[in-house]
Structure 1
Amino acid sequence: MTLKDDVTKGVNDVLAASWKTENATVVPETEDVALANGAKLLDATYLYADMADSTGLAQGYDSPAVAQVMRAYLNAATRILNAQGGKIRSFDGDRVMAIFIGNAKNTDAATAGLKLNRVLDEIINPALKKKWPSFKWVMTHGVGIDTGQAMIVRGGVRGHNDLVSIGRAPNIAAKLSEVRGGKRINITSAVYSKLNAGAKIGDNGNDMWTKMGTTTYGSNQVTYYGSSWRKGL
């Protein structure tokens, strides 16, 4: 079989398969989803955390330093997301994605973002300055959060595949993590409306979230709220 024949057969097999869809009550692992045509439906909140200005970092410093900085961010984000109940299902360069489920999924995700804000300001950036006193680059990030039903499938071929989340929530969360120039965390109105007081109201009694407006992603009109507030660990 030529490579063309192999690719053609693979595409046709994927398009011919009928989905075997199941409702999920836990965040699936890769092996929980059949490669050929398995799918899990999950009511979940998606969080993407994306270290900002990695291009400026990479162009201004040598690779070993850049790698340490990126690993520091991903290490800290992973610990915060895990501690807040998130299930990490994707790393992409300097970005990490976590899935939250349960009655408090929106509050848990927002709280994770607020805690990560504090980690950047009080742990990571001081540590970078201590290690490299002449370091000019300052770490910041974008966090995007949305909630809704997602379809989780496996993409790729046998031996080379991973989970892929399909739906508005993962797509919009990823887009909101790329917003720059405003607040560090951006959440949809659907997430904001489900926050408990601890994730919505600051110690001074003020709302930690500001309505940022409405934007369009594809066919979706998305109203979102932003915050650069911080929560203690």
Structure 2
Amino acid sequence: MGLKEDITNGINDVLSAEWNTQNATVVPKTEDVTLTNGAKLLDATYLYADMADSTGLAQGYKNWAVAKVMRTYLNAATRILKAEDGHIRSFDGDRVMAIFIGDAKNSSAAAAGLKLNWVLDEVINPALKAKWTDFNWVMTHGVGIDSGEAMIVRGGVRGNNDLVSIGRAPNIAAKLSEVRGGKRMNITSTVYNNLNKGAKISTNGENMWTSMGTTTYGSNQVTYYGSSWRRPL
């Protein structure tokens, strides 16, 4: 069979398969979703954490140093997300995605972002400067969070596939993590309106979140809030 026929048959198989959709109460792993037609529906909060200015980093330093810097970010982010009961489901270069479920999913995701803000300033950047005294690049990032129902499927072919989240929440969270020039964290109004007091109000009584207005992604008008506050570990 030639490559064209192989691709045509594969596409026809995908388009003809009827979804076997199930409601999920836990964040699925790859093996929990059937490759051919499996789908899990999940009410969840999605967080994307994206290290900023990786292009400037890559252009200014040796590959071995760039790799170490990126790994410090992903290492810290993964530990914080897991500590806040986030389920890591994707790495993409210098970006990591976690899924949160349960009654406190929005507050847990926000708390993770606030802690990561603190770690960048108080742990990672000082460690990089201590390691290389001539290192002038300063790590910052963007965190995007949205909440809602998502459809989780498997994309790819047998032996080469991964989970893919479909829906507004994962899409908007990813877009908000790419916002630069404002706050380091951006969350939708859905997330903001479901934050508990600890994730919304600082220890001195100030609201940690600022209304950033609205933005448009595709056909979605998104009202969102931003914060660069930090939460010590």
TM range (shorter): over 0.9
> Where does residue 165 of structure 1 map in the other structure?
165
Q: Distance in 2 between matches of 1:232 and 1:194?
A: 22
> Where does residue 220 of structure 2 map in the other structure?
220
Report the CA distance between 1:157 and its aligned residue.
Answer: 0.3
The secondary structure found in structure 2 opposite 1:109 is helix
Report the CA distance between 1:120 and its aligned residue.
Answer: 0.1
The secondary structure found in structure 2 opposite 1:129 is helix
Residue 85 (1) aligns with residue 85 (2): yes
Residue 231 (1) aligns with residue 231 (2): yes
Counterpart of 2:110, as a letter, is A
Q: Distance in 1 between matches of 2:143 and 2:64?
A: 25
1:23-49 Cα distance to aligned partner (Å, 9 max, x none): 000000000000000000000000000
> Where does residue 190 of structure 1 map in the other structure?
190
Report the CA distance between 1:154 and its aligned residue.
Answer: 0.1
Q: Distance in 1 between matches of 2:24 and 2:188?
A: 23
Task: Give the gaps of 5 or more residues in structure 2.
Answer: none
Residue 110 (1) aligns with residue 110 (2): yes
> Where does residue 42 of structure 2 map in the other structure?
42
| TM-score with structure 2 setting the length | 1.00
Q: Distance in 1 between matches of 2:130 and 2:212?
A: 35
Q: How does 1:202-221 map to 2 (within 5 A)?
A: 202-221=202-221
1:63-82 Cα distance to aligned partner (Å, 9 max, x none): 00000000000000000000
Q: Identity of aligned pairs, percent? A: 80
> Where does residue 21 of structure 1 map in the other structure?
21
Q: Distance in 2 between matches of 1:55 and 1:213?
A: 29
1:51-99 Cα distance to aligned partner (Å, 9 max, x none): 0000000000000000000000000000000000000000000000000
Task: Give the gaps of 5 or more residues in structure 1.
Answer: none
Q: How does 1:90-101 map to 2 (within 5 A)?
A: 90-101=90-101
| TM-score with structure 1 setting the length | 1.00
Counterpart of 1:7, as a letter, is I
Paired residues, number: 233
Q: Distance in 2 between matches of 1:211 and 1:203?
A: 20
Misfit runs of 4+, over 3 Å = none
